[in-house]
Structure 1
Amino acid sequence: MPSCGRWSARRSPSWRGCRESPPDVLLRKLLGPQNRNLWFWVFVGPFAIGLALFTYVPLAWSLYLSFFDAHNTVTPEDFVGLANYRTMLTDSAFQDSLLTFVVFTAVIVPATFALSLALALMVNRLRWMQAFFRSVFFLPVACSYVVAALVWKLSIFNGVRFGLANTVLGWFGSDQIAWLSTTDPPWYWLVIVTVRLWLQAGFYMILFLAGLQRIPKTLYEAAAVDGAREGWQVFRHITFPQLRATSVAVVLLLVINSFQAFDEFYNLLSSAKGYPPYARPPLVHLYILALGKEQNLGLGSAGAVILALIIGVATVAQARFFGLGRRED
């Protein structure tokens, strides 16, 4: 008689009384009746393993390092408790990086929101070549942030007279501007904001475009019968209210992406002399702290945990404020 510890999907009814071991129970639940879930795990399994190894394990290890004095090592032994967190919360450089994030968010979120919505409205009104213009505006999304930053830095906003921006200024008799090194006024913000706008506006345009195409045509027909004028009046009272769910999702994604700003800042402002003391968002500051001269992985990990908590709290607060997930009347 076979052992009850060996499970088979084709087991006869007489085996139902056998007591299964915990591994057999887990295997039966994962595979499902008659191995129906087998192909699901065949395709999803490699991705799940990669996600665990390259995302969740590093996150757990970073949390572990945040409680230790980890200088130049990823296997520390000196437990310091919450000392790293106290140091980061009182660090003026880390506080300045959070202020940089606030400034960046205050500019990039409304600018991207307005630009992507305007592009979506224009593309949605096209009666011909709509797919072409949708693809053209979305194409920058596929571009690498590093490549785009280098193009902005070396070609468009180059500080010498051969840069495109300075060439255009020269046509009007204006002086050349060192775009990335001038802090009064801070022209580097123009470079950073424009490259981020170019890279991400197309993605959010697609989201708004999907929301626009879901608005029932009968609403516009009813508005026309009631005498509503096309343009701002229809947009204010029909189009924009119908885009409420999409608008909330766009704002949430924009804020989260602003917290994660790194590539454009680092590649635009860093040089052979290193990164300047200004315009350091949180991720750039933590990168320099953990992988720079100090190699303080404990403080860097504590700062990363603090940043993750701030993102989580900000996201939940926005979701509650906008009523995300709330049933509409």
Structure 2
Amino acid sequence: MSSSTASAPGRGGTSPAPSRPPGSGTRPRATAVKGSRLAFWVFVTPFLVGLVLFTVVPIVWSTGLSFFEARGTLTPTRFVGLGNFAHFLTDDAFTNSLVTFFVYALFIVPVTMAVSLGLAVLVNGLPRFQAFYRSALFLPVACSYVVGSLVWKLALFSGLPSGVANSALGVFGIAPVSWLGSSPYWWIVLVTVRLWLQVGFYMVLFLAGLQRIPPVLYEAAMLDGVSAGFRRFRYITWPQLRPTVAAVLLLLLVAAFQAFDEFINLVPTNPSTRPPLVYLYNVALGAQRDFGLGSAGALILTAIMVVVALLQTKFFGFSAAEDRTKAPRRRRGGVSA
């Protein structure tokens, strides 16, 4: 018998197929589930239609309307070019609204960041019942700004002697205060209502950032003598929270630009407390109903928001502290610097 027939044939007289090494064969082609494409478009189409009708079309139409005069109508009547935009350069009311925004942001942004970060650190350090305190502090976020403003106006800071704030002052012998009638008292009302409504949201963001910090960093700090207190927060917690701080700061600035409900419900007729969004609302829907001028102002306000966001990102950034280290340079002779 020759050597070529030395091996025994398989059952049925056929030789067994040679085994393939792992990974050498072709992978089976993934096939889509029947009807999945139709289901995708059935679910996505309503959202796309809503996005186009209620977002894209209004933005495009408002951009075109800003170059026309349109008083009391959404149809362009007379082309004015850049006249609507030039109007805001000499409008003192628009300039005062920007000053109001900066004063408001000067209070609400740092206070919200400090309170939300402090609450996040406290909740994160609790050994038990973290979920309860997190939910309780987040609960005011579900309340609308209109309802919160009315509660602040009619109950807490009503200006009456029976109001909550004036009753508390009366315990110390202080006369009742007209909270919404004079400065700087109205700023206390405006800042506290937004602080109560939004601090829980940013606390959750900081809490998520705190829980992303590796525990090994704190263990290494304890070996170096940094066990707890301000030094631990300064050298470990704060640098690791840099991306979260940058994101929260950006969101707070955008939210301050969009401040509307509390101003229109608490101090609707006071020109000294009229932020840009309230001013543009009065321009477009006030006595003149100048939609062309209001559209131009909306574009200018959007451009200011974009510039502020870019500057904030430029100076603070979103990268973590360890990601900002420079790569080592290579010297001559292959020795790294």
Specify the alignment match of 1:13 in structure 2: none
Of all paired residues, the percent bearing the same amino acid is: 57
The range that moved more, 44-53 or 231-240, is 44-53
Pick the aligned partner of 2:302 from 290, 308, 316.
308
Specify the alignment match of 1:269 in structure 2: 267
Contact 2:244 2:318 (8 Å CA) reproduced: no
CA deviation after TM superposition for structure 1 residue 60, in Å: 1.4
Pick the aligned partner of 1:328 from 318, 324, 327.
324
- Structure 2: distance between partners of 1:108 and 1:38: 48
- Structure 2: distance between partners of 1:79 and 1:33: 54
CA deviation after TM superposition for structure 1 residue 38, in Å: 3.5
Residue 310 of structure 1 aligns to which amino acid in structure 2? I
Specify the alignment match of 1:196 in structure 2: 194
Pick the aligned partner of 1:243 from 216, 224, 241.
241
Pick the aligned partner of 2:312 from 304, 308, 318.
318
Structure 2 SS opposite 1:158: coil
Specify the alignment match of 1:99 in structure 2: 99
- 1:251-262 residue pairs with structure 2 within 5 A? 251-262=249-260
- 1:51-200 residue pairs with structure 2 within 5 A? 51-183=51-183, 186-200=184-198
Can you give the 5+ residue segments of structure 1 that lack an aligned partner in the other structure? 1-31
Q: Name the TM-score, length of structure 2 as normaliser.
A: 0.84
Can you give the 5+ residue segments of structure 2 that lack an aligned partner in the other structure? 1-31, 326-337
CA deviation after TM superposition for structure 1 residue 137, in Å: 0.5
CA deviation after TM superposition for structure 1 residue 57, in Å: 1.2
Pick closer, same or farther for the CA change 1:222–1:316 going to 2, 3 Å: same
- Structure 2: distance between partners of 1:208 and 1:49: 35
CA deviation after TM superposition for structure 1 residue 318, in Å: 1.1
Specify the alignment match of 2:215 in structure 1: 217
Contact 2:242 2:319 (8 Å CA) reproduced: no
Specify the alignment match of 1:19 in structure 2: none
CA deviation after TM superposition for structure 1 residue 50, in Å: 0.8
Contact 2:116 2:206 (8 Å CA) reproduced: yes
CA deviation after TM superposition for structure 1 residue 33, in Å: 10
- Structure 2: distance between partners of 1:34 and 1:196: 50
- Structure 2: distance between partners of 1:169 and 1:237: 41
Q: Name the TM-score, length of structure 1 as normaliser.
A: 0.86
CA deviation after TM superposition for structure 1 residue 226, in Å: 1.1
- 1:30-69 residue pairs with structure 2 within 5 A? 36-69=36-69
Specify the alignment match of 2:227 in structure 1: 229
The range that moved more, 54-63 or 206-215, is 54-63
- Structure 1: distance between partners of 2:164 and 2:295: 40
The range that moved more, 122-131 or 319-328, is 319-328
Structure 1 SS opposite 2:159: coil
CA deviation after TM superposition for structure 1 residue 36, in Å: 5.0
CA deviation after TM superposition for structure 1 residue 118, in Å: 0.3
Specify the alignment match of 1:28 in structure 2: none
CA deviation after TM superposition for structure 1 residue 89, in Å: 2.0
Query: CA RMSD of the aligned region, Å?
Result: 1.6
- Structure 2: distance between partners of 1:33 and 1:88: 57
Q: Mark the structure with the bigger radius of gyration.
A: 2
CA deviation after TM superposition for structure 1 residue 142, in Å: 0.6
- Count, aligned residues: 292
Higher helix fraction: Structure 1 or Structure 2? Answer: 1
CA deviation after TM superposition for structure 1 residue 297, in Å: 1.0
Deviation string, structure 1 residues 245-268 (Cα, Å, up to 9, x no partner) = 000000010001110100111111
Structure 2 SS opposite 1:104: helix
Deviation string, structure 1 residues 80-136 (Cα, Å, up to 9, x no partner) = 000000001210000000111111111111100000000000000111111000000
- Structure 1: distance between partners of 2:206 and 2:156: 29
Contact 2:210 2:237 (8 Å CA) reproduced: yes
